[in-house]
Structure 1
Amino acid sequence: MLDEETERLHELIGPVRFVLFDFDGPICRLFAGHSAEDVAKDLVRRLAGLGLHGLLTDDERRQPDPYVVLRAVDRRRPRSDLVEELEELLTQQELKAVASAWPTPHVDPLIRTWTALGARLAVTTNNSPRAVHTYLTSRGLLECFAPHIHGRTQDLRLLKPDPHCLRRALSALGADPKSALMIGDAPTDLAAARRAGVGFLGYARNPRKARLLRDAGGAALVSSLEPVLRCLRGGRR
């Protein structure tokens, strides 16, 4: 007999033919050795250096998340040279972080196993596609995804929870959303998957992540990708 968790995974994964991975979280911890908070501070310092300290609220300046800073600037200076400059600065920091990123346990064999079983994979992320490409190349995983890497564009309104990158992936893959699954670790991933009509599996590496996903309505959660890999390798009953 399969245990309850494995049974749920079989039901969720069985019909899947297309898998959309978020990047930072399910594939790796991008800022494991390169603090995202430091990146946010770099963006704030750049604004101050340009004499634009007042463009952010006090709360926004204290945020440890660079995306909060970037989105705030984009709301006030949409599609401006300033937003383009800050987005490129973030991209350079993400590229730098790749060298010290930690692979998510079990994800490399999971990616290779799903590919070997005939699933088609894509990355759908708010990170720079250049950083994703660099990381996947370093792990020998690029061929499992290329050319289906759909990341941040300079139109920041299209970041998740907007489903834009998921819809781009589905279109490029020729995929029916009903046969696709997204693996993500944030409520924004869950919201984007729902809006794209795609199934969702939450990866929560700690209780805080799990709580955020549950509060957002995420029903299918795993704290490790190992049972997903085991489910694929064991096959269906």
Structure 2
Amino acid sequence: MTSETQAEAVTERTEKQIRNLIKPARVVLWDFDGPVCRLFAGHRAEDIATELVQWLEGRGLHGLLTPDERKSLDPQVVLRAVDRRHPGSDLVAELEERLTKEELRASASAMPTPYADPLIRTWTAVGSRLAVATNNSPKVVRTYLASRGLTTCFAPHIYGRTQQLNHLKPHPHCLVRALNAMGSAPEAALMIGDTPSDYLAARAAGVPFLGYARNERKERLLRDAGATHLVSSLQPVLHAVRGIG
């Protein structure tokens, strides 16, 4: 068998696996930052994390974070660290509000994930119902979807960060909320995510999972977490959905 023939066989096998995974799905749960868009393409998450740390230090709270947390490149890590030490406090509420404002700023320069827009519209057109289940603010999701003309594909099923930060993924809370609101059994749904926390939340909720790994690092992290069905592009998913429409 030539290398070209081998490649074609792998592609056909992958497409068959995708079809088998998506065909039973009547409800599709999307993570937001990653599968739908790169939220921080123009307003870096690393800079937001640094600003949150500096804001805390400016209030004399330098010792609230560990050295690793202060160096984190993920603003969610900073937020959750503060919540673990002061759950439900005004400090956490104010920090979450600051993060939401930064996410809203980032949404103006967010970059659509290749093939995401047509995939969302096609999946809706063939009769599937879509929801967003994310650790980002639902305000940010609604703002971005409106800018792309995609609101009607998801609304009102947008489930994001609340004041109960212990319910962020990998906790399955937002997935369960979506399933309950849409009257769907877990096995009749599909979660599309790009992080181990997405996979773990889907597994906890009993929802089949399709991982979107846009680079080798993402793929390695997802596989190490236990995810087995992965794609590096949404193009074959779009092709499969068109095939079952």
TM superposition score normalised by structure 1 = 0.98
Per-residue CA deviation, residues 19-76 of structure 1 (Å, 9 max, x unaligned), is: 0000000000000011101000111011011111110111110010001111110011
Residue aligning to 2:40? 31
- What is the Cα deviation at residue 232 of structure 1? 1.1
Residue aligning to 1:131? 140
Q: 1:50 aligns with which of 51, 54, 59?
A: 59
Q: Is structure 2 residue 18 aligned with structure 1 residue 9?
A: yes
Partner of 1:160: helix, strand, or coil?
coil
Q: 1:216 aligns with which of 225, 233, 245?
A: 225
Runs of 4+ in 1 over 6 A off after TM superposition: none
Q: 1:163 aligns with which of 172, 175, 178?
A: 172
- In 2, Cα distance between the equivalents of 1:176 and 1:139? 29
Q: 2:210 aligns with which of 190, 194, 201?
A: 201
- In 2, Cα distance between the equivalents of 1:56 and 1:218? 31
- In 2, Cα distance between the equivalents of 1:99 and 1:205? 22
- What is the Cα deviation at residue 234 of structure 1? 2.1
Q: Is structure 2 residue 27 aligned with structure 1 residue 18?
A: yes
**Tell me, which stretches of 5 or more residues in structure 2 are unaligned?**
1-8
Residue aligning to 2:195? 186
- In 2, Cα distance between the equivalents of 1:107 and 1:97? 18
Q: 1:230 aligns with which of 227, 239, 242?
A: 239
**Tell me, which stretches of 5 or more residues in structure 1 are unaligned?**
none
- In 2, Cα distance between the equivalents of 1:6 and 1:18? 20
Partner of 2:50: helix, strand, or coil?
helix
Tell me whether 220-229 or 53-62 shows the greater mean CA deviation.
53-62
- In 1, Cα distance between the equivalents of 2:244 and 2:60? 59
- In 2, Cα distance between the equivalents of 1:203 and 1:73? 30
Partner of 2:180: helix, strand, or coil?
helix
Q: One-letter code of the match for 1:164?
A: H
TM superposition score normalised by structure 2 = 0.95
Partner of 1:19: helix, strand, or coil?
strand
- What is the Cα deviation at residue 235 of structure 1? 2.5
Partner of 1:3: helix, strand, or coil?
helix
- In 2, Cα distance between the equivalents of 1:113 and 1:7? 19
- In 2, Cα distance between the equivalents of 1:15 and 1:159? 27
- In 2, Cα distance between the equivalents of 1:31 and 1:170? 28
- In 1, Cα distance between the equivalents of 2:107 and 2:194? 19
Partner of 1:181: helix, strand, or coil?
strand
- In 2, Cα distance between the equivalents of 1:129 and 1:235? 31
Partner of 1:32: helix, strand, or coil?
coil
Partner of 1:71: helix, strand, or coil?
helix
Q: Is structure 2 residue 68 aligned with structure 1 residue 68?
A: no
Q: One-letter code of the match for 1:234?
A: G
Q: Is structure 2 residue 121 aligned with structure 1 residue 109?
A: no
Question: How many pairs were matched up?
Answer: 236
Q: One-letter code of the match for 2:231?
A: V
Q: One-letter code of the match for 1:193?
A: A
Paired residues for 1:78-97 under 5 Å = 78-97=87-106
